[in-house]
Structure 1
């Protein structure tokens, strides 16, 4: 099972993303709002591995947090059978530096997907998954009026351990 390293969002940015989740859920569409796990929160994934040891998580705790997170327009990831709608995260130098530091700290960890590595990573905050073409069109129509940009800050760097179903906060603001 994957181990992820994520930036969570400050209260205002978190609330803005959750409001977008709620718009989709109210229309009967798949939405991250329907994921009722206690650890479910808007976030930006910085790294993924199949396992992380204590030395790696120790190095990750030293990763500096960027001062700001800027969410841009809607981003669609198309799959063979369904799509994901997300908010693009506008990559600042500080965000890219944090991502590179996570990559360096996770060097040697097993099961790291290529799409999370520097030069291949697309920073985003997921709004909805498993949308067929009709639902994708509906979701995009519902979200057409969302602000073009939302600005906030990260609140924490966390490790989601899907094996243990636990979140470990590595660093806070």
Structure 2
């Protein structure tokens, strides 16, 4: 499995990491629990079973783009929830997503939520929240509105656990 991801400018990333740290301090699930150097706040643009990272190099010409993080977003997944930061949809963001999705080709059914006109831009803050802990998690994160930039593009290879940085 491969994912194509936008990475954030340093200030915006620091705001998200602060929320990760607040959740850790409250003994709640947090994306900050993963100590891998590749683990950083990002916006997933496409997920596919197989991709060639170099195919996306032309997309880097579209970056950087302005980015605005809104409030908290809760995504359901069976009996667990994902807490995320909403990323405000803009023309520039949609342009980058469309370029990536067109290069990646149609998604396999289990990744259909990354296809054109089906994508919800977000930054994951915590996975695996059970219903009784959602309220505590929501009150723990600051989720303040912030304006920044998406400055980089990378491809994550989940099988080899490696990142290809495109910019």
Shared topology, TM-score over 0.5?
yes
2-side partners of 1:111 and 1:59: how far apart?
A: 22
Instruction: Give 1:102 shift.
Output: 0.2
Question: What 5-or-longer segments of structure 2 have no aligned partner?
Answer: none
2-side partners of 1:135 and 1:38: how far apart?
A: 28
Following TM superposition, where does structure 1 have runs of at least 4 consecutive aligned residues deviating by more than 4 angstroms?
A: 108-112
User: Map of 1:52-131 to 2, 5 A cutoff?
Assistant: 52-53=51-52, 57-63=53-59, 64-107=62-105, 113-131=111-129
Given the two structures, how large is their TM-score scaled by the length of structure 2? 0.93
- Which residue does the alignment assign to 1:3? 2
Given the two structures, how large is their TM-score scaled by the length of structure 1? 0.90
Q: How many residues align?
A: 165
Question: What 5-or-longer segments of structure 1 have no aligned partner?
Answer: none
1-side partners of 2:106 and 2:132: how far apart?
A: 42
2-side partners of 1:109 and 1:121: how far apart?
A: 11
Computed over aligned residues only, the root mean square deviation of the Cα atoms, in angstroms, reads 1.5
Q: Per the alignment, in what secondary structure is the counterpart of residue 21 of structure 1? A: helix
On the 8 A contact 2:66/2:147 being kept in 1, the answer is yes
